Amino acid sequence: MKERGHRRTQVGVVVSDKMDKTVVVRVDKVLRHPIYKKYIQRKGKYKAHDEKNECSVGDRVLIIESRPLSKEKRWRVCKTLEKAE
């Protein structure tokens, strides 16, 4: 894929692949609370475009920010890092 400019990337796990050419990716983040200095786990779910329907539930994928592809889809699957068993 040809890269254009600086685009955000995130690594997550596919939690749903029931839609056509779309997967739902869950991204887990660990961040430090600004006042209490404790580490907090945060999670986000993103709909990502999967052109060839290659991803399945449990796959670890790298997603990259893109232009809006539909109402909620603003990410593309860049590559599969590891397949689920």
Mean pLDDT value across residues 30-50: 97
Tell which wins on pLDDT, 4 or 34: 34
Q: How far is CA 16 from the centre of its chain?
A: 11
Domains of the chain: 9-82 (2.40.50.140)
**pLDDT at residue 55, rounded to an integer:** 95
Q: How far is CA 37 from the centre of its chain?
A: 27
Look at residue 10 and tell me whether its pLDDT is greater than 80: yes
Q: Which of 65, 54, 68, 62 is nearest to 22 (CA)?
A: 54
**pLDDT at residue 85, rounded to an integer:** 82
21 Cβ contact list (under 8 Å, min separation 6):
49, 50, 51, 53
Look at residue 61 and tell me whether its pLDDT is greater than 80: yes
**pLDDT at residue 6, rounded to an integer:** 85
Look at residue 50 and tell me whether its pLDDT is greater than 80: yes
